[in-house]
Structure 1
Amino acid sequence: MSQEATATVPDLDFDTPSARRKRKVRALKDRIASLGIGIGGISVIIAILLIFFYLLYEVLPLFQSAEVEPWQQNGAVVEPYALPGGGQTLYLAMEEQAEIGLRLTDTPALVFFDTRSGDIVSEQPVALAEGVSIRSVVDISPARRLFALGLSDGTALVLRHDYKSSYPDGKRVITPEIAYPLGEAPIAVGERPLDLLAVNGDGDDWRLVGGSDGVLTRTDVSLTENFLTGEVQADVDSQLLPSQDVKPNKLLLMPDRRWLLVAAPGGKLVVKDLQSSDAVPQVLPATTGEIRQFELLLGGTSLMLADDKGLVSQWFLVRNDQGGWDMTRIRDFDNGGKPLSGFVTEHRRKGFATVDSDGTLRLFSTTAERNVLNEEVVDGDIDGIAYAPRSNALLFEKDGKLQFWAVHNEHPEISWSALWSQVWYEGYEEPSYVWQSSAANNDFEPKYSLMPLAFGTLKAAFYAMLLATPLAICGAIYTAYFMAPGLRRKVKPMIELMEALPTVILGFLAGLWLAPFMELNLAAVFITLLVVPLSVIAFAFVWAQMPNRIRFLLPEGWDVTLLVPVVILATMFSFAIAGPIENALFSGDMRFWVSQELGISYDQRNALVVGIAMGFAVIPTIFSITEDAIFAVPKNLSYGSLALGATPWQTLVRVVLPTASPGIFSAVMIGMGRAVGETMIVLMATGNTPIMDINIFEGMRTLAANIAVEMPESEVGSTHFRILFLAAFVLFMFTFIVNTLAESIRQHLRQKYGSL
C-alpha cells in the first residue's frame, strides 16, 4: 500500500467520552439484565419451594400420632374426683360438648354431673316397680344416646339422654333430660329376668331380644299415634326363640333387626337370621379364648369383639356366592397381649379405644388398621370408660373416682395402607381401591384411597399422549423440514393458536357434543381411524407415480395441501359405509355389541373422548417445541449430509432428529405434564367416576379433577380437606420427579449428539 493511501485512513479513537459513556451504559444494562434474570429465576425457585412447603404443612397433620393429657380448666389440670351420686356405675356417657356426664347407678338413679369438677347438675331416680331390679344395661347406640335396661321381671325400659342449650345473659347453659322412646312403662319381653338383652330400632318399629339361662324371647314393638288425642300406643308381639346349641353370654341386635349376634362360651360367635325361622345359625370359632368385649361399631355393620387375651377383631357380613351372607373376620388389632379392662367405640368415626390390665390406653382406627396411640393413663385395671361424642375427651372410672382426659386425635382414618393399598370396607365382598369421601348419613365409612385417582390421572394422560404425540411430532417434522417456507409461516401460527383456546371450551364441547356423537357413531369413528391413514398412504403412493408434469404443477413443499380434501373425503366415506358395516358385523349397534358380546361396559363419557379432547389441547405444546427444535438444527449439517449422498429421509433420521432429540424429548415431557395436570377437560368429559379400569370405554377421575370437584365442599382443616391437599402434593411430586428425570435424559442426549 502506498504512503498516500495510508495517510488517508482515519484514526479510530475508542476512548472518546462518547464511547466511554456508551460502554458504561451497556455495562449497566448488562448488570441490570443479569440481576433481573437472576432475581426472576430465584423468585421462581422460591415460589416453587413455598408451594412445596405449604402443601407439606397441610399434609403432615394427617400422619401425626394422637395425644392424650389430663383435661385442663383455666390452665389448671382437672384432678380425679369422687363418683358423683355414689353407688355402683352401670352406665357412663357424656354429652356433645363433653361438659356434662351421665352415670346410671345401681340405686337406681340417673346422675348428671359436670365432667370437669364432678359437681352434680341434676339427679333423677329411675322409677321401677317395687321389688324390680336392673339385671342388664345395653348401650343401643352411643351416637343416638340410646340405652336400655333389662329388668328382673322380664321387662325392658328404653331411655335416651338429651341436652338442651340455652344462653341466659350470654352464657351457655346445658340442661339434661331423659326421654323414653317406647314410653315410660317398661315393655314386656318375656317371663324370665333379662340377664341378657339386645335392642335396636328407629322411629315406630323396634325389636327386643332378651332372656336368661339360654332361653330367649323376641319382642317386636310397633308404635302408633292417635291423631286426635296424640296418644302413642305400643303394639307388642312376642315370640319364644328356638333353643340354642350354645348358652349365650352376650347379645347384640344389628340395626336392620334381622341379625342377632350371640357371644357364647369357648370363644364362639353365633349369627342367627331372625327373618327366617328355618335358617340354620352360623356358629363360628371367633377366638381361642373367652369373649369379654362384644360391641357394634358406628353404624351397626361391624362387630368388634375382644377375648380375655386382649386380641381385638373386626367382623361383618359378606355376601357369598349363593347369595347368602357369611359373618367374616376382616382384621385383627394387636393390643399388646394383655386382657382388656375397658373398651369403647367412637360415636362418629370407625374407631375404638381400649385400656388393658396395665392401664395402657390404645386408640385404633378400623378402616386404616392404625394404632394411633399407646400411652399409660392409669395404674392397673379400670372400672369404666366413656368416649365423648366428638372423640375429644375420655372419662375413666377407677377405684371410686373419675378421671377426665383430653384427646387430640384429628385424623386417625389415614394410613399408608388406607391411601395406597386395598382395604376391605363394610358392605364390600372383597378388599378394593375405593374413593368415596362423603355420603348421606353419619354412619358412613370414609374411603380415601388415592389409587383410583392416580390411576385415572395416568389413564387420561396415556390416552391423550397416545393421540397427541405421533400427530404432533410427525406434523412438526414435516412443517420444519419438508414444508415450503411460505406455507410454514401460515401453518405454524395456526397450530400454536390452538393453545390459546381455553380448555373449558374443549371440555364443554367434549362433554356435550363429542361424547354423545361418538356414542351414536362409534363404528364410524373406528372406521375413520382406520380409513383415513390408509387413504393418505394410498394417495401418497398414487401421487408419487404421477408424471412429473402433473406433480410439478404444485411448487415443492405445497403438495401437502392436497391431503386436506383427501382427509375430508375419507372421513365422509367412512361415515357412509359405517351403517352397512355396523349392520353386518355388529347387529346394527356396535355399542350394544361391545357391551353384550365382549362384556366390555360402555360409558358415554369415557377415556376415548378424553383422549381425543385432551389430545387436541396437548398437540400445540408438543408441536411448537418439537418444530422449533428441528428447525433450529444448523442447515450446514443437513447440507453436508445431502452433499455426501444421503437422501432427505436419511438426513432427517440420522442427522436432524438425533440433533433435535433433546428438544423433542422436552416437548413430550412438557406435553405429558400438561396432560397430567389438566383439569377442565377431564372434569367435564370423563364422568368423574373414580374407578380402576383400563377399559377405553370407561370413565375415570383424575387427581386434578377431584380437587376441583371436592375442595369447595370440604371443611377447612378436616381429614377430607387435607387429603385433597395430599392429592395436590402427589401431583406436585409426580411432576417434579418426571421433570427431573426428563432433564437428566435431555442432558444425556445433548452430550451424545452435541458433537454432530
Structure 2
Amino acid sequence: MIPTPIPAQFNNRRRQLTDRLTRRVVTACGLAILLVMLLLFIWLAGVVVPLFSSPAVEGSRAIPLGQTRPVVAMGLDPQQQWGWRIDDAGTGRFIPLAGQTPSSQALMGTGSVNAVAALSTGSVNAAAALQDSGRVNATATPDNSSVLLKSAAGLLLLEPDFSQAEPRWRFPLGEAPLAADPESQVVALAHPQADRWLVAQASPQRLTLQQFQPSRSPLSFSMAVRDINQMLLTPDGQRLFTLSGALLRVWQIGEQGLTLRDSITLAQRPQQMLLLSGGESLLIADQKGLSQWFDLASETGLHLHQIRYFTDARAQPLLFSEAHRRVFATVSPAGMLSLFASKQPGAIFSSPLGPGVIRAAFAPQGDGVLIEQQGRWQHLRLSNPWPDISWRSLWQKVWYENYPSPDYVWQSTSADDDYQGKYSLVPMVSGTLKAAGLAMLFATPLALAAAMYTAWFMSPGLRRWVKPAIEMMGALPSVVIGLIAGLWLAPQLADRLSGILLLPLMLAGVLLLCSWASDHLPPRWRKRVCDEGREIWLLLPLLLLTTIFCLWCIPLLEHALFRQGLADRLSGGYQQRNLLIAGVAMGFALVPLIFTLAEDAIFSVPASLGQGSLALGATPWQTLSRVVLPSASAGIFAALMIGFGRALGETMIVLMATGNTPVTGGGLLQGVRSLAANIAIEMPEAASGSAHYRILFLSALVLLVFTLIVNTLAELIRQRLRRRFARQEGQG
C-alpha cells in the first residue's frame, strides 16, 4: 500500500505559528479571566474593609482657657470650629478651636448657676447635689443645642447659634428669667418639639413638671415625691426617670400629668444615669459596672428591664454620650478615655488623656471630643464612622432596643431619625440557601429523570423533538418567570394548596403503579405497549389526569367539607408570596439547564458499554443504573453544581415571588429574602460610602466567596469521580 503524503499546507511554518499564537491567546484570555476575578474580589474587599477599621484619634490640639471658674455646661458646633462654655457664675463664652480671641457674655447675675443641657437627642441629668461651697455640679448630654440655666433668679433657656459668621446666644423664651422652684436641686430638660420645652424640677419634698412655649403661659404640674437625687427626661417628653437612692422610678407623662409606670429597687445604689441617643436605652453606672436597660413588652404593657452589663466597663467620674448614635464614653480619674457602642460587648477604643479631666463632650456628629482640664481644653478629632458594625453584629444574635430577645434582624432604614440600623446578614444567607435548596429539590428529580429517559429509553425520532423543546424553556427570561409566579401562580397555589402538596406523592405513586403493572403484563401486551418508547403515550395521559385530580378535584372536595381551603386554616398564617412559590418558579427555571448538561453526559457514554451490559443479560434499567450512570456521574454532578450556582445567584424570581421578608425562621409558606435580591432592592437607595452601602457590598462579597467555594469543591469532586470511573473502566 502506497502511503499518502501529508499535504504541505498542514505541516508548514505558517500553520505552526498560527497554532502557537492561538495557544498563547487562549492562555492569555484564561489568565485575564482569573485576573478579572481577582480584581473584582480586591475591589469588593476594598469597599468592605473600612467597616471593620478601629476608631482612631486623627488630631489633638491644646487650647488655653485663661479662667478658673468651674464649668457647668460646654459643647461644640457641628464643624468643630467653635466651642462654648458656661461657668457657675452664669458667664457664657464662645472659644474658637483654632486659637482666636474668645468672646464672653454674662448670661445671668452673679451666684451659683445650675446648667442642664439638652440636645436634639434628649434629656439631661441635672446637678445631683449642691456642694458645701455653694457651687453646682451639673451633668449634660453631649449635643447641647438647648441649655437651661438655674439660679436664685429663676430659669433661663438659651441656645448656641452658629448660623452666622460669629456665634451668638439665642433666648427662645426671652432673656428674662422664668419662675422656678427655689428649693429645687435637680433639674431635667427635654425639647420634644420645635417650640415646646419640658422642665422637671425636684426639691427634697416635691417633683414639679413644667411646659414652656413662646408667648404662652407655662403649664405646671406638681406632686409629692421625696429625695430625688438624679432625674432624666426622654427626648420625646413621654417619660421621666427618677432615682432616689437605690429606687428607680419610671413616670409616664400625659395630658393629666405624671403616672408612675415602673418602680424598681436596684441591688446597688447607682452613681450615675445616662440616656443614649433616641432615649430608649438607659445606662446605669454602679459599683459592678455599666448596665443597659430598655423597655420590653409584656401582658401588662411596656416595662423597664436590665439587658446586660458591658464588659470591662466601670463607673467613672465622667460618663457622656453622642447625640445621634448609641455611643458613649467614660473617663477614669487617671484620664483614660474609653469608647463604647450599644451593640458591642466591650470598649471599642481607649486613649490616655492625662489626669485632671473635669468635663468632656462629644461633637454633634461624634467625630470629635472636647476635654476640659485645669485651665485648658483639649480638642480631639476622632475617626469612628461605624461603631455599631462588627463581625458579631453581622453574624450573631443582637438584642436590639424593645425587642423581646436577641435575634437576627435586617432592617436598614426607618422614618425615625433616632433609628438604629440593624444589619444581620444571617436572614439573607438563610433565605438564599433555603430558596436554592428548595429549587434544587424541585428541579433535580424532574431534570435527571427526564435526562435519563430521553438519553436511554426514548426513541431517536422522539428525542430529536423533545430535547430541543426542553432546552428552549431555558430561553425564558427569569423576570418573566418571576412575574408569572408572583401574579398567577401565587393566588392559584393559595386556592389549591392541599392539592399541590399532594401532587408529588400522587405522581410518584402513579409512576410506581405503572412500573409494577408493566412488569405483570403478558409478554404480548408488554411488547406492544413498552417497546420503542410507546409507553410515553400511555404515561402522559395518566400523569395529566392525576394532575387534574389533585389541582381541581381535591380543592373542590376540601371546600365542600371544610368551607375553606388549607391556606385559610393554617394557624401560623399564610403569605401568598412565599418560599414554596419561589422554589417552584426557580426549579422550573433550573430544569432546562440541568436537563441539558445531564442528558449530554449520559448520551456521551460509549455505546459499547451499554451494549456489552445488555449482551451479558442485564435489563435496560440495570444497565442504566450500574453502568451508564456511574460513567456519566462526573458530568451529572457538574450539571447539579452549575444549577445550584445559578439558584444561588438568582435575583428576579426571588424578588418577585417571595415577598422579600428578611427573616431567619419561617417555614415553607413564609417569605424569605436572598442576598442577590437584597442587593437589587436596596443598592439604589443606599448612600454612597455609608454603612448600609458597604454592607451591601459585603453581601456581594459573601455571595462571590460562597459561589467560588461551592464551584471549587464541585470541581474537585468531579475530577475525583472522573478518575475513579476511568480507572474502573480501564480495569474492566
Q: TM-score by structure 2 length? A: 0.89
Q: Which residue of 1 is the match for residue 53 of structure 2?
A: 64
2:435 corresponds, among 447, 460, 470, to 460
Q: Which residue of 2 is the match for residue 472 of structure 1?
A: 447
Letter in 2 for 1:64: S
Q: Which residue of 2 is the match for residue 602 of structure 1?
A: 574
CA contact 2:290–2:313 (8 Å) conserved in 1: no
| Aligned-pair CA distance for 1:387 | 1.1
Letter in 2 for 1:752: R
Larger deviation, residues 359-368 vs 272-281: 272-281
Cα distance in 2, alignment partners of residues 702 and 518 from structure 1:
22
Larger deviation, residues 545-554 vs 496-505: 545-554
* 1:403 has 2:375 as partner: no
CA contact 1:152–1:193 (8 Å) conserved in 2: no
* 1:271 has 2:250 as partner: yes
* 1:626 has 2:598 as partner: yes
Q: Which residue of 2 is the match for residue 5 of structure 1?
A: none
Letter in 1 for 2:217: A
Q: Secondary structure at the match of 1:591?
A: helix
- Where do 1:16-55 residues align within 5 Å? 19=8, 22-55=11-44
Q: Which residue of 1 is the match for residue 91 of structure 2?
A: 109
CA 1:140 to 1:42, structure 2 compared with 1: closer, same or farther past 3 Å?
Answer: closer
Cα distance in 1, alignment partners of residues 587 and 488 from structure 2:
16
CA 1:34 to 1:140, structure 2 compared with 1: closer, same or farther past 3 Å?
Answer: closer
Letter in 2 for 1:98: Q
Cα distance in 1, alignment partners of residues 560 and 177 from structure 2:
74
Q: Which residue of 1 is the match for residue 305 of structure 2?
A: 328
CA contact 1:83–1:118 (8 Å) conserved in 2: no
CA contact 1:189–1:209 (8 Å) conserved in 2: no
| Aligned-pair CA distance for 1:423 | 0.6
- CA deviations 1:536-569 (Å, max 9, x no partner) are 4445555663774696378602432443333333
Q: Which residue of 2 is the match for residue 237 of structure 1?
A: 220
CA contact 1:155–1:194 (8 Å) conserved in 2: no
* 1:417 has 2:392 as partner: yes
Letter in 2 for 1:30: D
- CA deviations 1:33-89 (Å, max 9, x no partner) are 322221222122111111111111111111110110434xxxxxx4x1222776332
| Aligned-pair CA distance for 1:91 | 0.9
* 1:197 has 2:169 as partner: no
Cα distance in 2, alignment partners of residues 11 and 485 from structure 1:
39
* 1:89 has 2:71 as partner: yes
- CA deviations 1:482-507 (Å, max 9, x no partner) are 11112212222222222222111111
CA contact 1:198–1:210 (8 Å) conserved in 2: no
CA contact 1:301–1:426 (8 Å) conserved in 2: yes
2:296 corresponds, among 314, 318, 327, to 318
- CA deviations 1:101-153 (Å, max 9, x no partner) are 22122231332232222532x54432x4x677523424354577443425244
CA contact 1:150–1:196 (8 Å) conserved in 2: no
CA 1:28 to 1:565, structure 2 compared with 1: closer, same or farther past 3 Å?
Answer: farther
Q: Which residue of 1 is the match for residue 645 of structure 2?
A: 673
Cα distance in 2, alignment partners of residues 569 and 98 from structure 1:
77
Cα distance in 1, alignment partners of residues 9 and 493 from structure 2:
70
Letter in 1 for 2:46: Y
| Aligned-pair CA distance for 1:425 | 0.5
Q: Secondary structure at the match of 1:39?
A: helix
1:134 corresponds, among 70, 91, 113, to 113
| Aligned-pair CA distance for 1:650 | 1.0
Structure 1: state its 5+ residue gaps.
1-8, 72-77, 166-173, 224-230
- Where do 1:347-366 residues align within 5 Å? 347-366=323-342
Q: Which residue of 1 is the match for residue 566 of structure 2?
A: 590
* 1:721 has 2:726 as partner: no
* 1:556 has 2:536 as partner: no
Letter in 2 for 1:252: L
| Aligned-pair CA distance for 1:527 | 4.5
| Aligned-pair CA distance for 1:585 | 4.9
Q: Which residue of 2 is the match for residue 158 of structure 1?
A: 157
Letter in 2 for 1:356: S
CA 1:243 to 1:21, structure 2 compared with 1: closer, same or farther past 3 Å?
Answer: closer
* 1:346 has 2:329 as partner: no
Cα distance in 2, alignment partners of residues 370 and 625 from structure 1:
53
CA 1:489 to 1:182, structure 2 compared with 1: closer, same or farther past 3 Å?
Answer: farther
- Where do 1:650-729 residues align within 5 Å? 650-729=622-701
Cα distance in 2, alignment partners of residues 414 and 261 from structure 1:
30
CA contact 1:471–1:619 (8 Å) conserved in 2: yes
Cα distance in 1, alignment partners of residues 562 and 706 from structure 2:
42
CA contact 1:423–1:431 (8 Å) conserved in 2: yes
Cα distance in 1, alignment partners of residues 342 and 231 from structure 2:
22
Letter in 1 for 2:533: G
Cα distance in 2, alignment partners of residues 495 and 746 from structure 1:
25
Aligned residues: 705
CA contact 2:186–2:203 (8 Å) conserved in 1: yes
| Aligned-pair CA distance for 1:532 | 3.9
Q: Which residue of 2 is the match for residue 169 of structure 1?
A: none
- CA deviations 1:145-197 (Å, max 9, x no partner) are 443425244843333333325xxxxxxxx443434445545444535234443
1:436 corresponds, among 386, 406, 411, to 411
Q: Secondary structure at the match of 2:605?
A: coil
| Aligned-pair CA distance for 1:690 | 0.4
Cα distance in 2, alignment partners of residues 592 and 379 from structure 1:
68
Letter in 2 for 1:93: G
CA contact 2:368–2:381 (8 Å) conserved in 1: yes
| Aligned-pair CA distance for 1:589 | 2.5
Cα distance in 2, alignment partners of residues 388 and 148 from structure 1:
16
CA contact 2:121–2:279 (8 Å) conserved in 1: no
Letter in 2 for 1:745: I
Q: Which residue of 2 is the match for residue 4 of structure 1?
A: none
Structure 2: state its 5+ residue gaps.
123-142
Q: Secondary structure at the match of 1:210?
A: strand
| Aligned-pair CA distance for 1:23 | 4.1
- CA deviations 1:296-323 (Å, max 9, x no partner) are 11111111233467x3222111123x32
- CA deviations 1:318-360 (Å, max 9, x no partner) are 123x3233322223224565x5243321222111222222222
Cα distance in 1, alignment partners of residues 326 and 605 from structure 2:
63
2:715 corresponds, among 727, 730, 743, to 743
CA 1:123 to 1:509, structure 2 compared with 1: closer, same or farther past 3 Å?
Answer: farther
Q: Which residue of 2 is the match for residue 449 of structure 1?
A: 424
Cα distance in 1, alignment partners of residues 342 and 160 from structure 2:
28
* 1:259 has 2:239 as partner: yes
* 1:373 has 2:359 as partner: no
Letter in 2 for 1:410: P
Cα distance in 1, alignment partners of residues 167 and 310 from structure 2:
36
2:263 corresponds, among 282, 300, 304, to 282
CA contact 1:92–1:104 (8 Å) conserved in 2: yes
Cα distance in 2, alignment partners of residues 554 and 364 from structure 1:
75
Larger deviation, residues 357-366 vs 745-754: 745-754
2:201 corresponds, among 210, 215, 218, to 210
Q: Secondary structure at the match of 1:423?
A: coil
Q: Which residue of 1 is the match for residue 127 of structure 2?
A: none
| Aligned-pair CA distance for 1:646 | 1.0
CA contact 1:150–1:195 (8 Å) conserved in 2: no
| Aligned-pair CA distance for 1:438 | 1.2
Q: Secondary structure at the match of 1:207?
A: strand
Cα distance in 1, alignment partners of residues 713 and 487 from structure 2:
38
* 1:494 has 2:463 as partner: no
Fraction of identical pairs, as percent: 39
Larger deviation, residues 571-580 vs 482-491: 571-580
Letter in 2 for 1:651: T
Cα distance in 2, alignment partners of residues 676 and 392 from structure 1:
40
Cα distance in 1, alignment partners of residues 399 and 4 from structure 2:
88
CA contact 2:249–2:260 (8 Å) conserved in 1: no
Cα distance in 2, alignment partners of residues 533 and 436 from structure 1:
42
Larger deviation, residues 149-158 vs 392-401: 149-158
| Aligned-pair CA distance for 1:214 | 5.0
